[in-house]
Structure 1
């Protein structure tokens, strides 16, 4: 895992692990960072939490984590800090979603049936009260951050690799597509290589954006809701800026608050 200065491009710190790093995440105050390492070659998958120093040139970072734990049962595939940074939300290979104490590594809450397939992404809402997950079971779901209950479900025809929540407008954006091994024999249309917009309250699809020629692996939305970026198996990152009609649209009329 590497820490970078985004202004200069300088690498400030490198942490070495015996297996691949599958996910990194920051706490809201930027004082903590976590990573998930792969379960492989006799090593257990682990979640490590580091306290990040902001003093001086930020090159003097701790070598050891303040917390390190391996979730029992299904390995964790994704994770994020809950609001305030006291808990960590995890998604697992079994489809489970869980909540862990960030200091002790103790499991506080779990939903074993959040998904029926591996969880591939987990992103929080702007206020942190709920979060969205995507899964290989071809669904994305919104969960309550406190009790992990499923609030909304968005069902597609293809495995999903990523999902995010848009600020300003009530949408969830999802992306995925047919397995990369089958891409060479599949057309762009039948492979479902599209980002898809769903109304997060009414669970209805409201639009699609094409452009990738392979499965979409990750989606991120601008913090101010101005645009979103998608990264695909085709090797491209596409940045889509919303035009004025997106912000003026009122797809559900009086159900949305007036400007």
Structure 2
């Protein structure tokens, strides 16, 4: 361990690093969102909310962040957009009452192409696209039958992949939210990532954490699972975790990936030459 970022007093649910990895933002159950200096660990700013914060994300240009809070303790679910160059006293540049728009709690979020819109995933399986100029929804789809756990884009931000408790991950056109591909498993999927190097996606999940103590590693399905992006077929699994995989991130060069699990471990896997050299002709 190189160091720790100390400040939160509750579970940290989401972190996101800006484009040049000089800063990151974290959302926590302690009802705060914090902005950090990556190199020094210094807390640059703190945004206080009246309910636990579930999601946060840096804009592509690194000048704005979005974050959300849960609909608990009588508080509505809301989404905020903040320009981090402004003084903290100026507050959020935009604030949307999600609950008021008859939408369920936001469970995942990301910025769209050129920071012109935002896409949110909800606990009832809905995907919603928000226009940043009008700060209103422009598209709403319901592709999943369960909570959307994670949203990630591909390298050029033309596609997004969603992972859900309904045992599927799905690929969409990020601008139109047109459904393109589906990757099916027999266990909830908590995270899905698109390789920047190959036409592959990596899925992570497994049996619900509450049931893990009653389950063997073999039947819990805790492997990272590899699917072909286009053919939607599974072709490999990587074992290692002794509990559900909560998050997966692929290195920008596509030659390694990291997975974080309910077992308290973060595993970093480097692909061997056989994987990097192999390709499917089609």
TM-score normalised according to structure 1 size: 0.92
Deviations 1:135-185 (A, max 9, x none): 000000001112111100000000111111110101111111111111111
Structure 1 residues 182 and 102: CA distance shift in structure 2, 3 A: same
| 1:15 alignment partner, SS class | strand
Instruction: Please say if residues 199 and 228 of structure 2, whose CA atoms lie closer than 8 Å, have aligned partners that are also in contact.
Output: yes
Instruction: Please say if residues 66 and 103 of structure 1, whose CA atoms lie closer than 8 Å, have aligned partners that are also in contact.
Output: no
TM-score normalised according to structure 2 size: 0.84
Deviations 1:70-108 (A, max 9, x none): 222222211100011110011111111110012432001
Equivalents in 2 of 1:131, 1:212: separation in Å?
26
Deviations 1:6-47 (A, max 9, x none): 111111111111111111111111111111211101011111
Give the deviation of 1:61 after TM superposition. Answer: 4.6
Instruction: Please say if residues 50 and 62 of structure 1, whose CA atoms lie closer than 8 Å, have aligned partners that are also in contact.
Output: no
Name the structure 2 match of 1:57.
Answer: none
Deviations 1:110-135 (A, max 9, x none): 112x1111111000111111100000
Instruction: Please say if residues 119 and 128 of structure 2, whose CA atoms lie closer than 8 Å, have aligned partners that are also in contact.
Output: yes
Name the structure 1 match of 2:54.
Answer: 22
Instruction: Please say if residues 153 and 159 of structure 2, whose CA atoms lie closer than 8 Å, have aligned partners that are also in contact.
Output: yes
Aligned runs of 1:71-150 on 2, under 5 Å?
71=98, 72=101, 73-112=103-142, 114-150=143-179
Give 5+ residue unaligned stretches, structure 1: 55-59
Instruction: Please say if residues 140 and 154 of structure 1, whose CA atoms lie closer than 8 Å, have aligned partners that are also in contact.
Output: yes
Give the deviation of 1:240 after TM superposition. Answer: 0.9
95-104 vs 129-138, greater mean Cα deviation: 95-104
Name the structure 2 match of 1:49.
Answer: 81
Give the deviation of 1:65 after TM superposition. Answer: 1.0
Give the root-mean-square deviation of aligned CA atoms.
Answer: 1.4
- Are 1:242 and 2:271 counterparts? yes
| 2:166 alignment partner, SS class | coil
Higher relative contact order (CA 8 A, sep 6+): 1
Aligned runs of 1:168-207 on 2, under 5 Å?
168-207=197-236
Equivalents in 1 of 2:120, 2:216: separation in Å?
34
Q: How many residues align?
A: 247
| 2:259 alignment partner, SS class | strand
34-43 vs 131-140, greater mean Cα deviation: 34-43
Equivalents in 2 of 1:104, 1:66: separation in Å?
12
- Are 1:225 and 2:254 counterparts? yes
Equivalents in 1 of 2:253, 2:92: separation in Å?
32
Structure 1 residues 11 and 63: CA distance shift in structure 2, 3 A: farther
Give the deviation of 1:223 after TM superposition. Answer: 1.4
**Corresponding residue to 2:69 among 24, 34, 37:** 37
Instruction: Please say if residues 145 and 166 of structure 2, whose CA atoms lie closer than 8 Å, have aligned partners that are also in contact.
Output: yes
Equivalents in 1 of 2:90, 2:264: separation in Å?
33
Give 5+ residue unaligned stretches, structure 2: 1-32
